[in-house]
Copies of this chain bind each other. A is one copy, B any other.
């Protein structure tokens, strides 16, 4: 099998590595940046560094276009022009409607792997990046069935879980699940920055830290994502404004809303993890190297898996809180094991 990868960042590089290691494919790569191309060769991600985009596309059974969003449409068109009649072409952009509408070639099927951060380069690429990850496929009305089946089989071969979804539904979902959280994280940073007026942020517990973790992420990339998904993201922002207005007028009557959110939040997390209800344990710990390891090891030895965790240091730098999410069935046992450790003995 001959694979062409156009754009050798984290995603493209990982596709190349996975195609070689898992499928024993021949991989030809191309990147506009000669340094990235050279590193892809050096890392063994690609067999051949092509002379240009057309050369990489022409020789391949499957071509993956993994360039920045702003260059997706042009690059995909150029690849389709160069590719053979039996080739399959896909992209990995994080929004799909515009491209799928623009490209009506039957050999093209849009796609989007939910894996990795698009902000990293070939240095972070790895063959197992897609292991178990959802990889959305957004075939359009003109997409060829045989091409779809070949792409699907290729993605399974990379270890991914290909999942077909309508392009518009995909973009609405990403707007809600990913793009709106980034917008709101940015706003929270602005509000707090203004409220502090130059004062130091007090140690406020996990709510602010967690809520703003993605604030200001990779500006060049995220500006492109916002722009590419402007329609769906705009609709999400409109809905958010509408809800904020309702909330603002009922600030003294929000218990039902809070309760409904609790139920929905739990339902979402449980559906994601598909591993039964979780329970949160909060553990106060001395904030020194090794403490988290100690707790995690204790859970590991007891066969208790930590589904999620967050560590928040206290302002004194000597103590902190670890929140652990474990299966409800394990929660009591986990609590007893932690209590038995007498962690506070380490706190002065």
Question: What string of 1s and 0s marks CB contacts (under 8 Å) between A229-250 and chain B?
Answer: 0100110111111011101100
Beta-carbon nearest neighbor of A251 in chain B: B230
B314 engages A131 (CB within 8 Å): yes
CA distance A302 to B289 in the complex (A): 9
A32 interface hit (Cβ, 8 Å) = no
Contact of A251 among B217, B226, B269, B311 (CB under 8 A): B226
A59 interface hit (Cβ, 8 Å) = no
Instruction: Pick the 4 closest A-B CB pairs, nearest first.
Output: A132-B316, A216-B262, A290-B300, A223-B255
Stretch at the interface among A1-9, A46-54, A84-92, A206-214: A206-214
| CB contact under 8 A between A194 and B176, given known A114-B202, A247-B237, A305-B289 | yes
A124 interface hit (Cβ, 8 Å) = yes
In the complex, what residues of B have CB within 8 A of residue A181's CB? 188, 207-208, 211-212
Shortest CB-to-CB span from A339 to chain B, Å, is 10
In the complex, what residues of B have CB within 8 A of residue A177's CB? 192, 195, 201-202, 204, 207-208
CA distance A181 to B205 in the complex (A): 12
A203 engages B114 (CB within 8 Å): yes
CA distance A214 to B304 in the complex (A): 23
A279 interface hit (Cβ, 8 Å) = no
Shortest CB-to-CB span from A209 to chain B, Å, is 7
CA distance A261 to B201 in the complex (A): 16
**Can you add 13 more A-B contacts, CB < 8 Å, to A133-B316, A181-B211, A203-B272?**
A124-B282, A131-B318, A132-B317, A132-B318, A134-B203, A173-B196, A180-B191, A184-B211, A191-B239, A192-B268, A212-B268, A233-B251, A291-B300
B265 engages A187 (CB within 8 Å): no
B202 engages A134 (CB within 8 Å): yes
In the complex, what residues of B have CB within 8 A of residue A185's CB? 207, 211, 261
A300 engages B289 (CB within 8 Å): yes
Q: Which residues of A contact B (CB under 8 A)?
A: 114-115, 117, 120, 124, 126-129, 131-134, 161, 163, 172-173, 175-178, 180-196, 200-220, 222-223, 226-227, 230, 233-234, 236-241, 243-245, 247-248, 251-269, 271-275, 282, 284, 287-297, 299-319, 344, 347-348
In the complex, what residues of B have CB within 8 A of residue A220's CB? 255
In the complex, what residues of B have CB within 8 A of residue A195's CB? 172-173, 175-177, 236
B128 engages A319 (CB within 8 Å): yes
Shortest CB-to-CB span from A207 to chain B, Å, is 5
In the complex, what residues of B have CB within 8 A of residue A309's CB? 292, 309-311
In the complex, what residues of B have CB within 8 A of residue A258's CB? 186, 216-219, 222-223, 226
Beta-carbon nearest neighbor of A243 in chain B: B187
B201 engages A271 (CB within 8 Å): yes
B210 engages A211 (CB within 8 Å): yes
A308 engages B297 (CB within 8 Å): no
In the complex, what residues of B have CB within 8 A of residue A173's CB? 195-196, 202
In the complex, what residues of B have CB within 8 A of residue A128's CB? 284, 319, 344, 347
Contact of A259 among B219, B299, B318, B344 (CB under 8 A): B219
